[in-house]
Amino acid sequence: MVAAANPLAAKAGCAVLKRGGTAIDAAIAVQAVLAVVEPQASGLVGGTLITYWDNDKKRVRYFEGLSRAPKASGKGLRTPVGDDAQRCGAKPDRLMPTTVNFTARAVGVPGTLRVLELAHKSLGKERWNTLFDDGIRLARSGFPLPKYLHTLLGEEAKPGGVGKGLKRCRYPNLMARFCIDRDTPKAIGAPVRNPELAAVLELVRDGGAAALYDAKGKIVQGILARLAETSCKLSIKDGAPAVMAGLVTGEDFERYEARERKPVCRVAFNHVVCSASPPSFGGGAVLSILKLADVAGIAKHTPDSLAHAHIMIESSRLTQADRRQYVGDPDHKQPPMDGLLASAYLAERARLIKLDRAVPTIQPGALPTRGLRPVEMNDPTAATLQDQTSHVTIVDRYGNALAMTTTNNSSFGAQMEALGMVLNNVLVNFTRAGSISLGYDVNAMRPFGRPRTAMAPTIVFDRNMKLRLVVGAAGGGAIPDYVANTILRVLVFGMDPQTAINQPHLSGQNVISKCDGKPGYVSEVEQGTQLAAYVAQLKAMGHPCARAVRLRSGLTAIAISPDGRLHGAADPRRDGVAVGE
């Protein structure tokens, strides 16, 4: 079974399973199609995390292929480097505007193909060059414009997450492929073709991932040509996009390596939950939210109750503060995950949760880690909850399971293409220079560094390590909330996965600069749902800036019943489906 954010992608993966392929074989076929039909979310030049259950060896494996910073990186995306002052009028002692978030400067070195290759070498059965046919066919012959893609094309791309932005059809590459004019997307169902991407997929099919990382190859040369902007323009007041050259080089491509890392696994609600470890904070956050909520007595309160919403939001807010304080790139400094997920520590944190009132000011917990100081609440990389990314869930006939979250970062990444591929803007995920007071910044930009991410591809087992649930989500900073709540609804409240995914969302992962007059972690529920009726009561309980907002998730899940039957589900908030073999 395959559950993915687009029916064409799910069908492509299922076809691979039918001919005897493994979950990783199917995932490669799915990613090839998603690059074509869901380019706003992921592609060949983004970043990807894979949590995998190898049923033959009874082993959970975790593969990390996040995009990373180039060698020439400065202290932050908005910090001028090199000749920026001369070329762009940027002042060395001042941050550049957030418009740089949607330029070539925000593009990082991609990891998706390298991590797919790494996992395929040890877990695949099908030949690599047999897994790209559907993607190539759809790119060359065309596909009907999906409803969700049409919706996003009609919205503004806001480089700072809030405030003013440009409609996406104002970006030349997006307009040429997806729009009628500078203000109007093509109609839902209109044919979209991408012959340039078809050619890239053919090169990758025949040459492997190396075709995309060879500094002298056609793909890298095409990407570098697109990043080499000769002009520099940071204002969008004239209605045209900002322009700024990128820093990625051919050497950066050739030096990129995907990693196999140790997954983070803990017991929650009498099940073993395994997810992504750092540089992702998402997996640890899922476990933290679940364990805090358990100690706070969440099982006593039905999912539609005010008490349930209150406990889950508080668990999220407490988790949010800790992950900002402690979690970053383990290649630079190993985050203290054992301390953050220790039962005694979480029990102490859970005592802060009161049923009648919210914690007014959330602070990170005290761990015995030197050199870290409290976080200033002005991190622009978390100003809003964005809704980018795609999640794929697969279970094959051999009992293997895959949870794969894959991303271009923001919706449409840097809002630009090279060779038909939407380029990522992952460098916005680094914490900007100066946003941590008095001490060490675990998420600072540095050469070859990987920015932390919320992605949380997760696999759940019973205490005998029998597979029970495979789940993950898109949705930016709120991904841990979406995943944790789905797990809770399935394991504790007995919902089938589709019912669980359909339930209203809530989150405590967002931080805004002005919350009741000062920066803070806000309490959010999904607008247009029954939880929105609780906003006034949450405010009365002291929840800072409690509000109903759009929470665009992109969940997919497969539950496995004790008799081995598969129950697939996909988020109705997007175009996803679950397809059985």
Give the pLDDT mean for 246-251.
97
Structure tokens that stand for 385 in this block: 């909850």
Determine the 3-state secondary structure of 1 from DSSP. Answer: coil
pLDDT in tens, 486-523: 999 999 999 999 999 999 999 998 877 667 666 667 89
Contact criterion met (CB below 8 Å) for 477 and 510: yes
Strand runs (DSSP E) across 142-278, as ranges?
143-144, 156-157, 166-167, 191-192, 259-261, 264-268, 271-275
Question: By percentage, how much of the chain surpasses pLDDT 70?
Answer: 94
pLDDT in tens, 175-214: 999 999 999 999 999 999 999 999 999 999 999 999 999 9
pLDDT greater at residue 376 or residue 564: 564
pLDDT interval class at 32 (50, 70, 90): very high
Residue 279, preceding peptide bond in cis (omega within 30° of 0): yes
What mean pLDDT value characterizes the chain? 92
pLDDT in tens, 403-462: 999 999 999 999 999 999 999 999 999 987 655 332 347 898 999 999 999 999 999 999
- Chain length of the chain: 581
Structure tokens that stand for 253 in this block: 């491509």
Look up the pTM and report it.
0.95
Phi/psi region, residue 460 (left: phi>0; alpha: psi -120 to 50; beta: rest), is: beta
Backbone angles phi, psi at 559, to 5 degrees: -100, 145
pLDDT in tens, 63-110: 999 999 999 998 889 888 888 878 888 887 788 889 999 999 999 999
Contact criterion met (CB below 8 Å) for 505 and 551: yes
pLDDT in tens, 308-345: 999 999 999 999 989 888 999 999 989 999 999 999 99
pLDDT in tens, 538-567: 999 999 889 999 999 999 999 999 999 999
**Does the structure show a pLDDT above 70 at 386?**
no
**Does the structure show a pLDDT above 90 at 19?**
yes
Lookup result for tokens 């491509």: 253
Options 3.30.390.50, 3.90.245.10, 3.40.190.10, 3.60.20.40; which CATH number does 260-385+433-579 get? 3.60.20.40
Structure tokens that stand for 529 in this block: 């749902």
Cα 211 from Cα 119, distance rounded (Å): 17
Picking from 40, 41, 34, the residue whose alpha carbon sits closest to that of residue 11 is: 34
Give the pLDDT mean for 279-308.
98
pLDDT at 516: 67
Backbone angles phi, psi at 480, to 5 degrees: -60, -35
Cα 44 from chain centre: 15
**Domain coordinates of the chain in residue numbers?**
2-48+64-258+404-429, 260-385+433-579
- CA-angle at 370, arms to 367 and 371, nearest 5°: 120
Return the DSSP state at 426. Answer: G
pLDDT at 434: 55
Cα 476 from Cα 494, distance rounded (Å): 27
Residue 7, preceding peptide bond in cis (omega within 30° of 0): no
Backbone angles phi, psi at 284, to 5 degrees: -65, -35
